[in-house]
Amino acid sequence: MLRILLIGSMPPPIGGITIHLDRFFNLYKNTFNIGILDIKKKTLFKKDKRIKAFFPIFNFFLRSNIVHIHITNDYFKVIFALLSRICFKTVIYTHHNSIVKNKLVFKVMYKLCHKIILVNDKSINKNLINYKKTEVIPAFLPPYKFENLPTNIENELTNYKNVISTNCYLYNLINEKHVYGFDLIIDAFYHLSRTKRINNTLLILVDPSGTTKDYVDSLLKELDFKTNKILHITENIDFVSLVKKSSLTIRATRTDGDSLSVRESLYFKVPIIASDVTWRPNGTILFKNNDSKDLAKKIIYTLNNKYEIKYYNENYGNKIINLYHKFLKH
């Protein structure tokens, strides 16, 4: 019997990896015996229960055929991979970024794991990749549920001709600049507003963690957006429901993996503008990384033109399940 233990984190907080695990769990929990060990919450998520006691969790680990690691912390990912190999488990690791920060740890994971899943291999040095032990499988899985947007947000949407939305995970910096590029988006939006190239447009910045409040407040200080408006949401909402009601979405990240937000927009055929900091799926409108002027050009072009999205969505969840079955046959 296929028994799978995934090690990572479940929402909250909301993020690309936590959403991937949540969707995978809920899409397949009625088909396979799946457990997700959330090491931060010290909880094992199973189909019909949540387990916090050590021995039942350890028992599920011992009885698992496959241990699939989704941890970003270098120390913990190596420890769990080593422990799993000692206990004769099939070990799989998904690398959820398009860059490799620690080459030594990356090489060690290749030694310890039976298979490495890359969500994007286009931006990783090919000399670091052992293709015999590698599968390239994007992390996107379609939503299994939708929630209504809060009434105040729904009311705001009806007041504007165009809605532009973007989101972030946390207030993180890279080279002392906001990872998710809220500064770039606001600068581009302000430029288009000041020159009256857009009007009656709502820009929504979503940060479910609430950690960007002071930062965004400082960026918006004394800016006049004419007939346009910026709405900064610092609570958890169903971002997919907002995407479906948007004229376009933006992913202005200064570093990225295979972005969930990009594929969600493409999946629902909503135009998506994203930085060219890494490879993006076909259908994405690219702007030059760290260039708000180029972003402004892409925004006005997209709003003024009908942009037909041709995006073929494969069932990436089934690809992972098929990989599990291959190991069981050996």
Domain ranges of the chain: 3-142+315-329, 151-304
Instruction: Give the pLDDT score at 330.
Output: 61
- The arrangement of secondary structure in 151-304, i.e. its CATH architecture, is 3-Layer(aba) Sandwich (3.40)
Q: What's the pLDDT at 310?
A: 78
Q: Is the dihedral of CA 196, 200, 201, 204 positive or negative?
A: positive
Domains 3-142+315-329 and 151-304 fall in the same CATH topology: yes
Residue range 32-43, pLDDT digits in tens: 899 999 999 999
As its CATH architecture, domain 3-142+315-329 has 3-Layer(aba) Sandwich (3.40)
The whole-number pLDDT of residue 15 equals: 83
CB 71 within 8 A of CB 40: no
What's the rounded Cα separation, in Å, for the pair 129 and 103? 10
Say how many C-beta atoms besides its own lie within 10 A of residue 313's C-beta. 13
pTM of the shown model: 0.88
How high is the pLDDT of residue 122?
A: 85
What is the number of H-type helices and E-type strands within the chain? Answer: 11, 16
Structure confidence at residue 202 (pLDDT): 98
Mean pLDDT of the residues in the chain: 94
Q: Which residues contact 21 (CB under 8 A, 6 or more apart)?
A: 6, 8, 9, 10, 36, 70
Q: pLDDT value at position 261?
A: 92
CB 257 within 8 A of CB 280: no
Listed as ranges, residues in the chain with pLDDT below 50 are none
Q: Which residues contact 54 (CB under 8 A, 6 or more apart)?
A: none
pLDDT of residue 172: 92
